[in-house]
Homo-oligomer: A and B are copies of this chain.
Amino acid sequence: MASTADRRPAVARPGLTRERIVEAAAAVADREGLHGVSMRRVGRELGVEAMSLYHHVAGKDALLDALGDWLMVQVERPSADAGWRVGIRARCVSLRAVMREHPWGPAIVESRRAPGMALLGHLESVLDCLHRGGFPVQLAAHAFSVLDAYVYGFVLTEQSLPFEPGGDVDDLAAEMALPADVFPRMAAFVEQVIVGRSYDYGDEFAYGLDLVLDGLDARLAAASPDSR
């Protein structure tokens, strides 16, 4: 059918680049988990030997660093022309959305130590938004800490839930069959907020985020009593 030497995909290989390698790694991670991202596996994804990757990427660690950056560029930055609360809220929602789409996100954030350029740029835009909103530097530091802890932590707990986002929660509740005499409060919880209520844990995200934003609002007002 094709010419004789044509054992690779018909599309002419555009040549290996760092970018293509990172994208292939992300694809593998999406499909098989971070666990599945190996130099050999990523190489195979690109129709290339693992060793070829080393010409564009220093090693596996550098590849994972790049993967973290690849993730952060996708997070929406707070727009310059909205109030701090709207801007920050949108970026938190976006951060969570990106992490939800790529469940290996939190793990990679945790394992990386050196912040890449994408992450630094992102931090800058968040700090800038808070600054424009009237946050003194000290309070901005507090705000940044609580907000990021909350968002990352939510994604983390969300992922370690024993049920799938869209899955049938009732089944699980029956399956776990918590003995009501040993775990009375958990049994009550399952019965009253889960079974038959089409409980979506994802809804908790907005509740907690608004709670944190309310708290920051109050601290901001206390810090600058003159503003209206």
Residues in chain A within 8 A of chain B (CB atoms)? 106-107, 109-115, 120-121, 123-124, 127-128, 131, 137-138, 140-142, 145-146, 148-154, 156-157, 159-160, 162, 178, 182-186, 188-189, 192-193, 201, 204, 207-208, 211-212, 214-216, 218-219
Q: A192-B137, A212-B212 are in contact. Are A124 and B185 (CB under 8 A)?
A: yes
- In chain B, what residue has the closest Cβ to A201? B145
- In chain B, what residue has the closest Cβ to A163? B113
How far is the CB of A187 from the nearest CB of chain B, in Å?
A: 9
Top 6 nearest A-B pairs (CB, nearest first) are A153-B153, A149-B153, A127-B185, A146-B208, A149-B154, A145-B204
When the two chains form their complex, are residues A149 and B150 in contact, meaning their CB atoms are under 8 A apart?
yes
When the two chains form their complex, are residues A106 and B110 in contact, meaning their CB atoms are under 8 A apart?
yes
How far is the CB of A181 from the nearest CB of chain B, in Å?
A: 11
When the two chains form their complex, are residues A183 and B120 in contact, meaning their CB atoms are under 8 A apart?
yes
How far does the alpha carbon of A162 sit from the alpha carbon of B198 in the complex, in Å?
A: 42
When the two chains form their complex, are residues A137 and B183 in contact, meaning their CB atoms are under 8 A apart?
no
How far does the alpha carbon of A137 sit from the alpha carbon of B186 in the complex, in Å?
A: 10
Of B154, B193, B201, B207, which one neighbours A153 at CB under 8 angstroms?
Answer: B154
Of B109, B154, B207, B219, which one neighbours A211 at CB under 8 angstroms?
Answer: B219
Point out the residues of chain B lying under 8 angstroms from A111, CB to CB: 107, 160
How far does the alpha carbon of A43 sit from the alpha carbon of B46 in the complex, in Å?
A: 37
A-B residue pairs in contact (CB < 8 Å), sample of 22: A107-B107, A107-B110, A107-B111, A109-B156, A110-B159, A112-B160, A114-B162, A120-B186, A124-B184, A127-B185, A127-B189, A145-B157, A145-B201, A146-B212, A149-B149, A149-B151, A149-B156, A151-B153, A152-B152, A152-B156, A153-B154, A212-B212
